[in-house]
Amino acid sequence: MGLLSLLRRLKKSGGEARILILGLDNAGKTTILRKLSEEDITTTTPTQGFNIKSILHNGFKLNVWDIGGQKTIRPYWRNYYENTEALIYVVDAADRKRVDEAGFELAEILGEDKLATVPLLVFANKSDLITALSADDVAESLSLFNIKDRPWQIQACSAKKGDGLEEGLQWVVKQVK
């Protein structure tokens, strides 16, 4: 189960859609992307740029962009907002010290004109760790309940184990017109 089978069930033909994955460094963005294609995740290293997956099915092209989350790279995020149809924001739910930082960056992103009204999925990742915050707590910390200008959803997941990824992705794909 992954992106390809999701796309096969979508019965779309023709066209193109762009999904953008953002989040702090070490949140698990690349691991999620790799896991969604059943790829080996043990060799994942910090992304120093972008990783793109383009999947073609029935003439419909899905492009998923994962941009590095290190502090030095974040100023470049804005270069990748255009034409985004869904945003996935990944939070390390077990890194309690950085949840505020994650919330600050998300608020910045949601204030961008180019991403106005773009549907948002938040993955509360690493939920398998006992120190992890619940999805509700993450939603609270990120002030998701105040979002009024777009559809949003939060999904607890473990990128490492694969739990919750499919549920989240299904929601995202439904938002893509």
Which residues contact another protein (rule: CB under 8 A)? 4-5, 34, 37-40, 47-57, 68, 73, 76, 79-80, 82
Cβ neighbors of 93 (< 8 A, separation 6 or more) are 99, 124, 125, 126, 127, 129, 132, 133, 134, 135, 137, 138, 156
Q: Nearest approach, Cβ of 54 to another protein (angstroms)?
A: 5
Q: Nearest approach, Cβ of 136 to another protein (angstroms)?
A: 32
Binding residues for GTP: 23-30, 69, 125-128
Cα 135 to Cα 79: distance, rounded to the nearest angstrom: 29
CA torsion sign for 91, 92, 94, 99 is: negative
Q: Using alpha carbons only, what angle is made at residue 146 by residues 166 and 27, rounded to the nearest 5 degrees? A: 40
Closer Cβ to another protein, 39 or 128, answer by number: 39
DSSP lists the bridge partners of residue 153 as 121
Binding residues for Mg(2+): 30, 47
The one catalytic residue among 48, 70, 153, 170: 70
Closer Cβ to another protein, 56 or 143, answer by number: 56
Q: Nearest approach, Cβ of 111 to another protein (angstroms)?
A: 20
Closer Cβ to another protein, 55 or 176, answer by number: 55
Binding residues: 23-30, 47, 69, 125-128
Annotate 24-36 with b (16+ C-beta within 10 A) or e (fewer). Answer: bbbbbbbbbbbbb
Closer Cβ to another protein, 122 or 173, answer by number: 173
Q: Nearest approach, Cβ of 152 to another protein (angstroms)?
A: 26
Query: Is 70 a catalytic site residue?
Result: yes
Cα 123 to Cα 168: distance, rounded to the nearest angstrom: 7
> Looking at the annotation, which residues are catalytic?
70
